[in-house]
Amino acid sequence: MTDAIAEKLAEAGYVLPKAAAPVAAYVPTVLAGGLLHVSGQLPFVDGALVTGRLGEDVSLEAGQAAAQACALMLLAQVKAALGSLDRVERVVKLGAFINSTGSFTDQPKVANGASELMVAAFGEAGRHARSAVGVPVLPLGAAVEVDAVFAVRPL
C-alpha cells in the first residue's frame, strides 16, 4: 500500500514515531461508521515526555511544539490502524487539552501546533473542527494531550 502522505511529511522533515501502546484500559483507535477515533496522545520529543504547565514553566512555543508532537503521534496511530495515511479522507476534529494555569488564555495558540501539522499533511482535508481546553493536570504531568477523529476512505 502506498503512503504519499507519510512521504510528504518525511520530505518536510517530520518523523512519524512508533505508535505508542496504551498505558491503561483502552485501545488506541476505534474505527466505527467510517470514522477513526484516536485516543488522546501525549507529546514525546526525542523520546522524552514534555511535562509542565503553560503559563508557569512551559513557554507558548514549547507548548506548540508539544502539540505538534501529539499530532505526529496521532498520525502514527492512524498509520498503525489503517496501514496508510492515504486512507484518511478528512481530519474531522481535534480535541486539545493544555495543562495550564488559571490565568493562561492562549490555549488556541498552543493547539495550533497540532492543527497546522494536519493542514501540512492533508491540505484542505486537514482543516477541522477543534476544541482547545485548559486543564489543571494531565496524565503523567504532560503539558499537552490531543485526541482526534478522522473520516476514512473505504478499502
Segment 47-76, tens digit of pLDDT: 899 999 999 999 999 999 999 999 999 999
How far is the C-alpha of 86 from the C-alpha of 74, rounded, in Å?
Answer: 14
How far is the C-alpha of 101 from the C-alpha of 69, rounded, in Å?
Answer: 21
Quote the pLDDT of residue 23: 84
Q: What angle do CA 46, 48, 54 make, to 5 degrees?
A: 110
How far is the C-alpha of 136 from the C-alpha of 79, rounded, in Å?
Answer: 31
Q: At what angle do helices 60-82 and 107-122 cross, to 10 degrees?
A: 40
Domains in the chain: ranges and CATH: 4-12+33-152 (3.30.1330.40)
Choose among 54, 39, 57: nearest CA to 146: 39
Quote the pLDDT of residue 70: 98
Q: Which residues of the chain have pLDDT under 70?
A: 1
Q: What pTM value is reported for the model?
A: 0.97
For residue 55, how many other CB atoms are within 10 A of its CB? 20
Quote the pLDDT of residue 1: 64
